[in-house]
A and B are shown apart, each in its own frame.
Chain A
């Protein structure tokens, strides 16, 4: 796996639908193509929502993991 540094972080912990997606979209707008974004969320719905968001916007979901109640998504900007 190539080593690209995460340049942008979104802390959406505690926020409920649709704010994790909205905050991510707002952050992604300011990012350069190819850079990585890390999102932390606690909304269980975000697992499916981030997959759907990536499908619709064309950004790539590089990695996702769960640590206790915190979901972590790494997204590469289209």
Chain B
């Protein structure tokens, strides 16, 4: 896969048109008849904040659409994104339950890392996204799952937060540990920590 370096373009529209004209004569080196060799991608979703979940889901669904094999290892705060939206209190002991109470789990209840303002920030962000016809993290997650992206929960995080398989959304992989992640990376999966 070749990436051309970004040129400083004073007018992005003109630059885009110039690119179209340049691309109409296909370069034999990048001709579609010879598909690029694809490496696996391993996303590590560690964060539970709206903007980071969004980035994770955007990349995962795009990888699925591009037929690039993609796994998402879901750990720590990231696992809160994969608790079913309708679950309110999770956990087995009072501390785990209290943690869930202080920060509601589920992909539709994510706070922003900045400008959260008691949920006002995420609400405005969601409204802007709908106006711009951006897909929500939840929609992108469904698309990614349909396109074969595998979401793998971290066993240790599940134990720490007292989460069961029933707390998590449908279609997730078997819970695994760090050794699986390191194994995938050492075998050549391109990792990205979000």
Contacts and interface: CB of A to CB of B under 8 A. Distances in A.
Interface string B125-168: 00000001111000010010001000000000000000000000
Contacts of B20: 47, 64-66, 71
Given A44-B13, A47-B16, A21 B133 contact: no
B62 interface: yes
Given A25-B66, A64-B20, 7 more contacts: A19-B133, A19-B134, A22-B61, A44-B12, A52-B1, A56-B35, A71-B20
Contacts of B68: 56
B122 interface: no
B62 A47 contact: no
Interface stretch (A1-9, A10-18, A31-39): A10-18
B68 to A, nearest CB: 6
B146 to A, nearest CB: 8
Interface residues of B, number: 31
B35 A16 contact: no
A63 B26 CA distance: 10
Interface residues of A, number: 30
Contacts, number: 79
Contacts of B16: 44, 47, 66
A35 to B, nearest CB: 15
B65 A14 contact: no
A64 to B, nearest CB: 6
Contacts of B135: 18-19, 22
Given A16-B134, A60-B33, A52 B66 contact: yes
Nearest to A14: B133
B17 interface: yes
Contacts of A71: 20
